[in-house]
Amino acid sequence: MTIAIIAHDGKKAEMVAFAKDHFSIFQNKKINLIATGTTGSHLERAGLEVEKMSSGPMGGDAQIASRIAEGKVDMVIFFRDPLGKHPHEVDVSMLMRLCDVYNIPLATNPAAALRFVQTL
């Protein structure tokens, strides 16, 4: 299983705290983590093994979207900041649309992410 992890800048600390709270699940050898570059760096510093894409504004969201279209992502956890302005919002919308097109579970907040990881 491959889980993509993404967090807007204002949500990175919350994502790291979430990942630490569920460290044993995310470090399961049957789960591969991929992340946008900056989020991935934060997760690595927290002790998780993660494959990093480019940062979101530099195409990381699009790289993950491509993996979704290729059938290589099973779940997306994306802590979004709905109140912030994001220069790469088009990429974010595309990623979310592809989750719908390919029927990929998408958690955009900690409550939904918790429900998803509880099923693992």
Q: Point out the residues that are catalytic.
A: 61
Instruction: State how far the alpha carbon of 5 is from the alpha carbons of 42, 83, 105, in Å.
Output: 11, 20, 12
Tokens of 25: 């699940």
Is residue 4 classed as helix, strand or coil in its secondary structure?
A: strand
What does the alpha-carbon distance between residue 87 and residue 9 come to, in Å, rounded to a whole number?
12
